[in-house]
Amino acid sequence: MTEQAWHGGFLDKFSPPIREKLLSFSEPFRFKAGQAIICEGDFSRYLYIVKTGRVAVEMQMPPTGRRIIRTGEAGEMISWSALVLPHRATASLRAIQDTEALGINGELLIVESHKDCQLGFELYRALTEVIAGRLNATRLQLMNVYSVG
């Protein structure tokens, strides 16, 4: 698979020079099906982008227990807590299938964003687009839940 083949999502939000810079900051990760990637409440060190496989985003929902709230697929950014204080995961991530991901060190991204304003602008614009999309999806789910009755 070429590097470009799986970009199709989060990385396509960046100009080519910034995308290459992000890729130069990344390191590869492999997770086996069923393996926990990060647990809700843990310190979040990496912004992960799924390269292959599938990842469950899960939350603890008393009294029913852990529930999958969404899944991440190739090209998707699945965690942003590494870039947002207090750098604690707001959900757990678990590989549903064998998964390859890129991890970009959040601390390094923050430092580099201060040095390179274009990187910072593109990064936080892309992050805001993802968060806004997920908030909208949550709103639609809530409308569905509360409209039943």
Residue 8 has a pLDDT of: 65
Which of 25, 34, 15, 32 minimizes the C-alpha distance to 102?
Answer: 25
Tell me how many degrees the CA angle 141-7-24 measures, rounded to the nearest 5: 120
Residue 34 lies in a domain: yes
- Structural domain boundaries, residue 46: 3-144
Q: How many CB atoms lie within 10 A of CB 136?
A: 10
Number of domains in the chain: 1
Residue 11 lies in a domain: yes
Residue 2 has a pLDDT of: 44
CA distances from 34 to 19, 29, 59 (A): 30, 15, 15
Residue 1 has a pLDDT of: 37
Residue 149 lies in a domain: no
Per-residue pLDDT tens digits of the chain, which is 149 residues long? 345 445 568 999 999 999 999 999 999 999 999 999 999 999 999 999 999 999 999 999 888 889 998 999 999 999 999 999 999 999 999 999 999 999 999 999 999 999 999 999 999 999 999 999 989 988 887 787 777 65
131: left (phi over 0), alpha (psi -120 to 50) or beta: alpha
* CATH for 17: 2.60.120.10
DSSP result, 80-98 = -GGGSTT-B-SSEEEESS-
Residue 116 lies in a domain: yes
Tell me how many degrees the CA angle 103-108-31 measures, rounded to the nearest 5: 15
| Strand arrangement of the beta sheet that strand 46-52 belongs to | 26-31, 99-105, 46-52
Task: Give the largest CA-CA distance in the chain.
Answer: 53
pTM: 0.87
